[in-house]
Structure 1
Amino acid sequence: MKPHTSSLFDGVLARGEVAAAVGDDAWLTAMLQVEAALAQVQAFSGLIPQADADAIAGCARPEHFDPADLGARAAASGNPVVPLVETLRALAGPAGPSVHLGATSQDILDTAGMLVASQALRPLLADLAACAELAARLAREHRDTRMIGRTLLRQAVPTTFGLKAAGWLSGLDAARWRLEQVRRERLAVQFGGAAGTLAPFGDDGPDVVEGLATLLGLTEPVLPWHTERTRVADLAGALGAAAGIVAKVARDLTLMAQDEVDEASDSSPGGSSAMPHKRNPVAAVCALGSAGSAPGLVASLLAAMAHEHERAAGAWHAEWRPLRELLVCTGSAAAWLRAALERLLVHPDVMRANLSRSTRSDESPDAAGVLVDRALQAHAKGP
């Protein structure tokens, strides 16, 4: 597999820690972790000698493998697990026949994908949580800061900036809690063998799956999910929703930062190669740019759900790149939004001036404060 993107664009479109968490090295480490865990579980069940499992664990180290070499050799079989297993068996010597026993390539790569996603969600969730806290602070501080509300991009009736921030908070919390639920409940071991029957293990099959889930810290599924891809769809949907709410907040920030509006600004604005006077809200702009790729990637993963029978001919392969890119773009968007909210300068005086130009400026947003309080209470309570 190639890196997730060209380094030329990483400063803008791969901000934060998620990109490294889904890189080639992370995938390689995860695949080797699955192979080593499988050997340990099988040794515990008496299916292979413990000495073989220990030898496999000693050889299943990333420094013994080259991701670029595995990627090139993957063309012969259609996936990188086959050359990885070939190399691991050669390294294991006499323990080689115990490597990958009873497994199929999809077992290893799918389970590795769940491990990679689980690790990548850690910094992503941390950034979303930080964004929510920053929105909560804005809601508290500006609970009663009146401003003009806008519908269809036109002046409507008065609202408060606190209520606008509370709306951001509510969406960020919902997206974060959904992602946490997916990470906790839907990232599962995939292990079924050649056709999802666990046939090589007889009655020990379910015990092997349970042991793998325990060792790897993933959920134990009721059945193998070789071609039942709702877990991938749940992850994609939750990531897409997170990217969507990040984009909503970032869009509001860019609109509020327009010179003609000037109700908020970036304390570390970006410049222009052609116009030295420009002070661009670059963090919000980059959050929008990162989030903009998410809908198409979600659609690609949903379209790939039509896996044939017990092994897909191409649909499985079609998931690999979109899943990685979706994690990267959503993680980058969340990291950029965190920066945008940390650097946000709010201009209540301009909000008042803009409100005064409205024919509805005397109206009071009666329930705004109560709604802000409700959002803050829900945030404090959690899911």
Structure 2
Amino acid sequence: MSDGLFDAVLAAGPVAGQVSDRAWVQAMLDFEGALALASADAGVIPTAAAEEIARQCRADDYGIAEIGSRAVDIGNPAGPLVRALTTRVTPQAAAYVHLGATSQDVSDTAAMLVTARSFDALRTELRSAAALLAGLAEEHAYTVMPGRSLLQQAPPVTFGLTAAGWLSGITAAQSRLNAIRRDRLAVQFGGAVGTLAALGDNGIRVLSGIAQRLELTEPVLPWHTERSRIAEAATALGQTCGAVAKIARDITLLAQTEIGEVVELGPAGTGGSSTMPHKRNPVAAVLAAGSAGPAPGLVAALLGASAHEHQRAAGAWHAEWRPLSELLRTTGSAVHWLVISLERLRVDPERMRSNLERTGGLLLAENVAIELVSASQGAVGRQTAGDAVAACCRAALADCGELVELLADDPLIGQYLERRRLAELLDPAGYLGSADEFIRRTLDDWKAQS
């Protein structure tokens, strides 16, 4: 990670180190080393030359800034890096550096390695987030809170169900990233136009050897202008950021002063304000949301670069480098801050119950209407029941009395439901449906994928 002004905030976590300039150069050198060793295994070049080339493939031995400045000569950094590598090896080995490869083979394989290594770091962080969410779902399976629809209170849920919903999004993101890491991050090796003609009959053997050494998938054929691998990685990262942003948004809303159902309790000095000493900002959730924010635009940039002409494109693969790095970095930062937010999160069940009681039972109006239809054995239709209960709700909102009394005094409702039963129907804990079963199913799904 660089030392930029915003990096500690928007490039936090271990993924940032996997997309640094040094990491990219090392990934390109890893390709060159694997190419040489695989070529030796296939009998294309001498083993001694391959070993000499591999020994010189350490990024710390190269001037990264100089390589970057020389990239303008041919339009990519692979060329100057290959030249620098060639000058470092013995004259006997120099003739075999980069044999059969083209610059795009180097940069594309480096992109896959950078992505794979970022995915590995990202998956570790996602596992931490998922474990924390699973703990919240189990601990608060019966902690009743208001459900919210269009930002208004709705029938009750549990905080455990809320956390299970968060967990479901993270589990889905994990599953997608795992599948792409396993099946779709492939080595690129096709030579000038994807035929490996320079290697004669040895091209496939060398390709297989590179894939094995780099622990990347071996593609069916070179994918110089078939960019679905980049697109799939991009959309999976966008999906991950979406899952993080949803959780972060919920946490910031639940932590509002007027709601106060959760709070982040971080180390001293966190969550404060430059002007308002009283503030307890959920700063980690805020930074998770802020990090995730650029993802849709970066995904769009990568999808927009997918149209590559003929066998090798003019500019389209170049257009992928920066948004791919930024998307990996920002996704890693978003997940990192989410883990911190969840570690700091404290739930206030009493405040949740208090917020439920603010409406005097209005949230349970649906329960009363359904019971009225049942108690009347269908004599009162669903629409009629709903209208009768809605009239009582309007009266309660107009301060004409408590809802339970208004319902009991209504001629139609009171005919079928006693006050005691109405009070039971207005108890939030009695109207949770299959919430506990949904939590269990979500936890089972998470455990099956862990």
**1:16 counterpart = 2:13:** yes
- Secondary structure in 2 matching 1:259: coil
**1:147 counterpart = 2:148:** no
- Count of residues paired in the alignment: 380
> What is the CA-CA distance between 1:93 and the residue it aligns to?
3.3
Matching residue of 1:365: 432
Q: Which stretch shows the higher mean deviation, 355-364 or 241-250?
A: 355-364
In structure 1, C-alpha distance between the alignment counterparts of 2:125 and 2:90, rounded to whole Å: 45
**1:256 counterpart = 2:247:** no
Matching residue of 1:381: 448
In structure 2, C-alpha distance between the alignment counterparts of 1:149 and 1:28, rounded to whole Å: 50
Letter in 1 for 2:363: R
Structure 2 stretches of 5 or more lacking a match?
365-425
- Secondary structure in 2 matching 1:240: helix
TM-score, scaled relative to structure 2:
0.83
**1:291 counterpart = 2:288:** no
Q: Which stretch shows the higher mean deviation, 351-360 or 52-61?
A: 52-61
**1:232 counterpart = 2:222:** no
Question: Retained in 1: the 8 A contact 2:145–2:353?
Answer: yes
> What is the CA-CA distance between 1:198 and the residue it aligns to?
1.1
> What is the CA-CA distance between 1:30 and the residue it aligns to?
1.0
Aligned 1:129-278 pairs, distance under 5 A: 129-268=127-266, 269-278=270-279
In structure 2, C-alpha distance between the alignment counterparts of 1:120 and 1:366, rounded to whole Å: 41
Matching residue of 2:50: 53
- Secondary structure in 2 matching 1:46: coil
In structure 1, C-alpha distance between the alignment counterparts of 2:50 and 2:442, rounded to whole Å: 52
In structure 1, C-alpha distance between the alignment counterparts of 2:82 and 2:148, rounded to whole Å: 59
- Secondary structure in 2 matching 1:156: strand
In structure 2, C-alpha distance between the alignment counterparts of 1:292 and 1:5, rounded to whole Å: 20
Question: Retained in 1: the 8 A contact 2:2–2:20?
Answer: no
> What is the CA-CA distance between 1:203 and the residue it aligns to?
2.0
Letter in 1 for 2:314: A
- Secondary structure in 1 matching 2:89: helix
In structure 2, C-alpha distance between the alignment counterparts of 1:139 and 1:350, rounded to whole Å: 18
> What is the CA-CA distance between 1:64 and the residue it aligns to?
2.3
Letter in 2 for 1:189: V
> What is the CA-CA distance between 1:350 and the residue it aligns to?
0.3
Q: CA RMSD in A?
A: 1.2
> What is the CA-CA distance between 1:177 and the residue it aligns to?
1.1
Matching residue of 1:128: 126
> Which structure ranks higher in relative contact order (CA pairs < 8 Å, sequence separation ≥ 6)?
1
Q: Which stretch shows the higher mean deviation, 116-125 or 248-257?
A: 116-125
Matching residue of 2:98: 100
Which is higher, the Rg of structure 1 or of structure 2? 2
- Secondary structure in 2 matching 1:149: strand
> What is the CA-CA distance between 1:285 and the residue it aligns to?
0.0
Matching residue of 1:76: 73
In structure 2, C-alpha distance between the alignment counterparts of 1:49 and 1:211, rounded to whole Å: 15
In structure 2, C-alpha distance between the alignment counterparts of 1:355 and 1:202, rounded to whole Å: 74
Matching residue of 1:323: 324
In structure 1, C-alpha distance between the alignment counterparts of 2:125 and 2:33, rounded to whole Å: 32
> What is the CA-CA distance between 1:382 and the residue it aligns to?
1.8
Letter in 1 for 2:228: T
Matching residue of 1:42: 39
Per-residue Cα deviation, 1:121-157 (whole angstroms, up to 9, x for no partner): 1221111111111111111111111111001111111
In structure 2, C-alpha distance between the alignment counterparts of 1:164 and 1:23, rounded to whole Å: 36
In structure 2, C-alpha distance between the alignment counterparts of 1:379 and 1:58, rounded to whole Å: 43
- Secondary structure in 2 matching 1:157: strand
In structure 2, C-alpha distance between the alignment counterparts of 1:360 and 1:87, rounded to whole Å: 70
Q: Which stretch shows the higher mean deviation, 286-295 or 120-129?
A: 120-129
Letter in 1 for 2:337: W
Matching residue of 1:26: 23
TM-score, scaled relative to structure 1:
0.97
Per-residue Cα deviation, 1:273-300 (whole angstroms, up to 9, x for no partner): 1111111100000000000011000000
- Secondary structure in 2 matching 1:155: strand
Letter in 1 for 2:82: V
In structure 2, C-alpha distance between the alignment counterparts of 1:316 and 1:367, rounded to whole Å: 49
Letter in 2 for 1:52: A
> What is the CA-CA distance between 1:206 and the residue it aligns to?
0.9
In structure 2, C-alpha distance between the alignment counterparts of 1:58 and 1:247, rounded to whole Å: 44
- Secondary structure in 1 matching 2:95: helix
Letter in 1 for 2:241: A
In structure 2, C-alpha distance between the alignment counterparts of 1:68 and 1:19, rounded to whole Å: 19
**1:87 counterpart = 2:154:** no
**1:354 counterpart = 2:421:** no
Matching residue of 1:341: 342
Question: Retained in 1: the 8 A contact 2:153–2:363?
Answer: no
Per-residue Cα deviation, 1:60-79 (whole angstroms, up to 9, x for no partner): 22232111110000011100
In structure 1, C-alpha distance between the alignment counterparts of 2:32 and 2:23, rounded to whole Å: 14
Letter in 2 for 1:370: E
- Secondary structure in 1 matching 2:189: coil
In structure 2, C-alpha distance between the alignment counterparts of 1:237 and 1:168, rounded to whole Å: 19
